[in-house]
Structure 1
């Protein structure tokens, strides 16, 4: 069988049915949860997932048990499996810290970025524009994260980089849940263009302000979704 001739979804199903099946299924489910495809609090329909992955219920159950131990999924007798809820207050507190980290990173990055790093960031931004144009939301979101981490890393402060990376991992799932807002998606891309312009000009004050505002706008959208107020 020529794997290249198969659709992406078919190749994914074959991969899930291969060696280490339950681990591959757990990885796919983890991705669906982190990217918001399976939103917080959602009931996990085992029958639908078995049909989607073309698998039996046994490896799916093993995968779900793995996610229970990781805290991504909960299980209650007679109620089945459910995507674990998100602690709204913790997410709000993390964002408050992230706003300051973004601002600090902006001031330092504008001073320390070199032409090679700037070129790489522009290439990643162009990839984001392509993903947005093609409607590839998950790919866009991942590229978005890399751009933000890259800017922080360019600041040249390993403590700042580690702290930022750690906190971002804690809000990954919450950001994924809010990633379906089409209007915010377009708005966010525009903000990224302004951020890259300021960085290219080495304007630290402007860059710090734009990064903080961008973080605050993202936080507002995430909190709106977590509060069940998203109407777009």
Structure 2
């Protein structure tokens, strides 16, 4: 009897871990936007599970700050603090610019080839209209650029700040015009890296960061206003 209970506990624990990962990805990608109420019955049906592993998963996400819980109200995806986000973006602009100055003098041919390959993959996702994989590849390019700067302290600070804006960038439903503009900015980054552009890499990277921040902040400001009206 005791062994059976342990097995059941392990099955529940493993299930809740999978559900946690799935819900976290849905929140960070924007599939579950800020302020969205989490209907437990719907998600139990969606994942074909009982309430126990779902609630265990939700407890983890509450601890991570991605979900809030109020008695008699239930679970809801937490909102994003725009003022904090704006401050984080300001720091990222400076780090992108600084990284650009290091990358320009330190990048190796093999690293450039890897970045160019990622860029081509991102182009393919853009042409296919696949925003989800485009966004993931975009993130991989930025991570590789920062690694190429060869400064572990910079990488640590940058990655910590990026973790704070990842959900905001995934949530923002970027329109086609900004998507195309962003792709053009990445083309400029590649051109600057390969010496085919007269614009210094630090300038290109900072401008790209600033334009992204502007689009994300404007979207979230409108989203928050709409959410308040609905509530």
TM-score range, shorter chain: 0.7 to 0.9
Instruction: State yes or no: 1:86 paired with 2:70.
Output: no
Match 2:221 to one of 203, 214, 227: 227
Match 2:63 to one of 62, 69, 86: 69
Counterpart of 1:142?
Answer: 136
Deviation of 1:44 (Å): 1.1
> TM-score, normalised on structure 1?
0.86
Distance in 1 (alpha carbons) for counterparts of 2:134 and 2:38: 26
- Are 2:12 and 2:52, in contact at CA under 8 Å, matched by a contact in 1? no
Match 2:186 to one of 192, 200, 203: 192
Which region of structure 1 is more displaced relative to structure 2, 130-139 or 200-209? 200-209
Match 1:119 to one of 91, 113, 117: 113
> TM-score, normalised on structure 2?
0.86
Q: Deviations over 1:18-65 (max 9, x none)?
A: 970011001100011111111111111222222222222222122111
Counterpart of 1:176?
Answer: 170
Point out where structure 1 has 5 or more consecutive residues left out of the alignment.
Answer: 1-16
Point out where structure 2 has 5 or more consecutive residues left out of the alignment.
Answer: 1-10, 225-231
Distance in 2 (alpha carbons) for counterparts of 1:181 and 1:57: 37
Aligned residue pairs total 214
Match 2:30 to one of 18, 27, 36: 36
SS state of the match for residue 82, structure 1?
Answer: strand
Counterpart of 1:5?
Answer: none
Counterpart of 1:209?
Answer: 203
Distance in 2 (alpha carbons) for counterparts of 1:74 and 1:50: 18
- Are 1:106 and 1:204, in contact at CA under 8 Å, matched by a contact in 2? no
- Structure 1 vs Structure 2 CA RMSD: 2.0
**1:97–1:204 Cα change, 3 Å:** farther
